[in-house]
Amino acid sequence: MKFSLGLDAVAKAIGSLVETTGQVIDEFHTSTEEKLQAKIRLYALANETIATLLTYQTKLAEYQARVIMTETTGHSWLQRNWRPITMLVFVAIIVYNHVLAPIFGLTPAPIPGNLWDVIKIGLGGYVIGRSAEKIAFKVLSEKGGKDGG
């Protein structure tokens, strides 16, 4: 299950649709000027659609950054640390199954495929989240320094 929009794939699909529609327009029994006007409108619509998708992607990223900032600056210890705890559990599962179990002849823990997906998404998100957290801390520190606080 993918959580990102896959903007490249959407842009390619829109480009393919525009190309196919352009070919249909070429087959119209109308003047060359009218065909060009129809293609111009078609390309403008495609550009507007991609611009809307880019705006959506930007707003989504901003929202995700705000969520991470809220968590990392929260008053509760659990609120600030649930992601690292979860990642440590994931790492423990991986170490047990792929290091300890083979070395000591232990039975690996059965892990459903969808849990591996959660682990991959979680570890990827955690790395990105930690990077965003460090950048946000630096930005906030610099802002505080400039304001005198």
The reported pLDDT for the residue numbered 142 is 66
CB of 68 closer than 8 Å to CB of 133: yes
The reported pLDDT for the residue numbered 135 is 67
Q: What is the helix, strand, coil percentage profile of the chain, to 5?
A: 85, 0, 15
- If asked whether residues 56 and 86 sit together in one domain, one would say no
Domain that holds residue 106: 76-149
d(C-alpha 116, C-alpha 105), whole Å:
22
- If asked whether residues 133 and 89 sit together in one domain, one would say yes
- If asked whether residues 66 and 135 sit together in one domain, one would say no
Boundary-marking domain end, from 27, 56, 72: 72
Number of structural domains in the chain: 2
The reported pLDDT for the residue numbered 133 is 62
Block means of pLDDT (10 residues each) for the chain, 149 residues, are 59 81 80 86 87 86 82 82 84 92 93 81 67 64 53
Q: Residue 56 has which token pair?
A: 């959506």
3-state secondary structure of 107: coil
The reported pLDDT for the residue numbered 108 is 92
Boundary-marking domain end, from 38, 72, 106: 72
The reported pLDDT for the residue numbered 111 is 84
The reported pLDDT for the residue numbered 76 is 86
